């Protein structure tokens, strides 16, 4: 069988394997930037356990998806729009379009931005603010070329999406700046181009995002494998990401280098994460299952290597910088320090999950990783951030273009 480097780097198995290689090097003290204190992991486990029981005492925990961020302070902001959509198929298509556009606009907003809900007047920042801003942008028909069908995101509208439209929808101003404004708009324009390349047919000259469902191998019994879903999304999004690392002239996306993983393979030094694509995959599970599909092997997906989960391990002392002065520096996403932080986070989420289930007497089927992230690690990481830093910022300063963190 011919080795296909892109399929290899797009595999969740490879993500775990490469991250685990760095983790094992960390346990040996061979990483340049981080020291791992596994003896402090039970501290993080206890905090996450307490968070889960406080928020979900009946353990009825939804998975960590974009849909949870539309539910703010007890109000589900998607429900009024959802009720206007008639028919199961139309609802599925609309929810796929919404999930993709909202997730792609989700990367960290920065400490200065907020969104004021036009209905309630309440101010929301970071993830909830981004979620609501993208929801209103979508529901107003911004991404639809059909004035009679606003709950849609099609290629032509996405290709024309401007920085000015994004700034208006996200209430950006000199006093309310958003990290990566231009790149976020460019991301959606490139998505429009990719939909033309990936999904356009004679019958569908202006494809919508949800047309990607036609590209996913689905069994007659409406069963689909989660790795095939992720793989299809990664193929669609391959040229949507800003050009960073390439292989054979093709964009690799959320894949980075670390010199300690050098070997003779064509993929030497490369560490894949595919954080936004994996979170998008998680976020498509609910609408797919609601529409009667069964998604298998969800546990193949990894925990999300972003700053809330990574901050949980930093702020509990599981991870410690070897050079304390690096905490004040601004780190590019491509730096080996950030690559190490993200890789260690992936493996520590797995290990935390194992210890948490053992402590709570639950099997992996009863408390799967997506529920741990929601229950869980993400909110505990955020709570610790606000306890230690008044603005709730991550423990490390990351130079972001609005497409990774």
- pLDDT(378) > 60: yes
400 within a domain of the structure (yes/no) = yes
List pLDDT tens digits, range 273-295.
999 999 999 999 999 999 999 99
Average pLDDT value over all residues in the chain: 93
* Per-residue confidence (pLDDT) for residue 400, from 0 to 100: 76
* Per-residue confidence (pLDDT) for residue 323, from 0 to 100: 97
Same domain, 48 and 17: yes
Where residue 3 falls among pLDDT bands split at 50, 70, 90?
low
Same domain, 282 and 354: yes
Q: Between helices 378-388 and 307-315, what is the axis angle to 10°? A: 60
* Per-residue confidence (pLDDT) for residue 126, from 0 to 100: 85
300 within a domain of the structure (yes/no) = yes
Where residue 2 falls among pLDDT bands split at 50, 70, 90?
low
Same domain, 36 and 76: no
* Per-residue confidence (pLDDT) for residue 109, from 0 to 100: 77
247 within a domain of the structure (yes/no) = no
Choice between 75 and 13, residue whose per-residue pLDDT is larger: 13
Domain that holds residue 119: 65-215
Same domain, 56 and 78: no
Instruction: State what percent of residues in the chain have pLDDT above 90.
Output: 82
- Single residue among 215, 240, 265 that ends a domain in this structure: 215
- Single residue among 158, 192, 215 that ends a domain in this structure: 215
Same domain, 356 and 287: yes
* Per-residue confidence (pLDDT) for residue 405, from 0 to 100: 66
Domain count, the chain: 2
Query: The whole model's pTM is what?
Result: 0.93
Distance of alpha carbon 392 from alpha carbon 390, whole angstroms: 6
Same domain, 8 and 93: no
Same domain, 336 and 370: yes
User: How large is the average pLDDT for residues 159-169?
Assistant: 97
Same domain, 76 and 204: yes
* Per-residue confidence (pLDDT) for residue 119, from 0 to 100: 83
List pLDDT tens digits, range 308-358.
999 999 999 999 999 999 999 999 999 999 999 999 999 999 999 999 999
CA 30 to chain centre: 29
Same domain, 168 and 184: yes
222 within a domain of the structure (yes/no) = no
- pLDDT(401) > 80: no
Same domain, 35 and 78: no
Where residue 264 falls among pLDDT bands split at 50, 70, 90?
low
- pLDDT(1) > 80: no
Same domain, 197 and 270: no
* Per-residue confidence (pLDDT) for residue 136, from 0 to 100: 96
405 within a domain of the structure (yes/no) = yes
* Per-residue confidence (pLDDT) for residue 263, from 0 to 100: 74
109 within a domain of the structure (yes/no) = yes
- pLDDT(26) > 90: yes
List pLDDT tens digits, range 79-136.
999 999 989 999 999 999 999 999 999 877 778 899 999 888 999 988 889 999 999 9
Same domain, 112 and 96: yes
224 within a domain of the structure (yes/no) = no
The residue assigned the tokens 């273009």 is 401
- pLDDT(196) > 70: yes
349 within a domain of the structure (yes/no) = yes
């Amino acid at each position: 069988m011919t080795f296909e480097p892109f399929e290899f780097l797009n595999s969740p198995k490879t993500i775990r394997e490469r991250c685990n290689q760095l983790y094992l090097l960390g346990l040996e003290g061979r990483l340049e930037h981080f020291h791992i204190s596994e003896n402090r992991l039970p501290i993080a486990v206890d905090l996450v356990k307490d968070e889960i029981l406080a928020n979900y005492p009946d353990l009825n925990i939804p998975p960590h998806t974009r849909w949870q961020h539309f539910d703010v302070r007890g109000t589900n902001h998607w429900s009024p729009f959802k009720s206007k959509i008639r028919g199961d198929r139309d609802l599925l298509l609309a929810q796929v379009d919404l999930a993709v556009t909202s997730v792609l606009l989700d990367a960290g907003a920065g400490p200065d931005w907020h969104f004021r809900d036009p209905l309630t007047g309440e101010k929301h920042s970071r993830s909830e603010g981004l979620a609501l801003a993208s929801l209103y942008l979508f529901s107003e028909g911004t991404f639809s070329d059909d004035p009679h069908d606003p709950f849609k995101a099609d290629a032509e509208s996405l290709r024309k999406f401007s920085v000015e439209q994004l700034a208006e929808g996200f209430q950006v101003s000199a006093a309310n700046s958003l990290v990566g404004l231009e790149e976020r708009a460019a991301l959606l324009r490139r998505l429009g181009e990719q939909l033309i390349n990936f999904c356009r047919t004679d019958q569908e000259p202006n494809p919508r995002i949800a047309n990607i469902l036609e590209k996913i191998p689905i069994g007659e019994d409406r069963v689909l494998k989660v790795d095939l879903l992720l793989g299809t999304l990664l193929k669609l999004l391959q040229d949507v990401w800003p050009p960073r690392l390439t292989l054979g002239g093709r964009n690799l996306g959320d894949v980075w280098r670390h010199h300690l993983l050098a070997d003779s393979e064509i993929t030497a030094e490369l560490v894949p994460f595919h954080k936004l694509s994996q979170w998008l995959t998680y976020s498509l599970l609910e609408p797919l299952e609601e529409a009667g599909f069964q998604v298998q092997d969800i546990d193949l997906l990894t925990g999300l290597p972003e700053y809330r989960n990574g901050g949980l391990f930093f702020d509990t002392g599981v991870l410690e910088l070897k050079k304390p002065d690096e905490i004040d520096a601004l780190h590019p996403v491509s730096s080996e320090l950030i690559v190490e932080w993200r890789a260690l986070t992936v493996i520590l989420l797995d290990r935390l999950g194992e210890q948490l289930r053992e402590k709570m007497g639950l099997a992996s089927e009863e408390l799967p990783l997506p529920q741990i992230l929601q229950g869980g690690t993400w909110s505990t990481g955020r709570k610790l951030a606000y306890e230690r830093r008044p603005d709730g910022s991550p423990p490390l300063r990351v130079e972001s273009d609005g497409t990774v963190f």
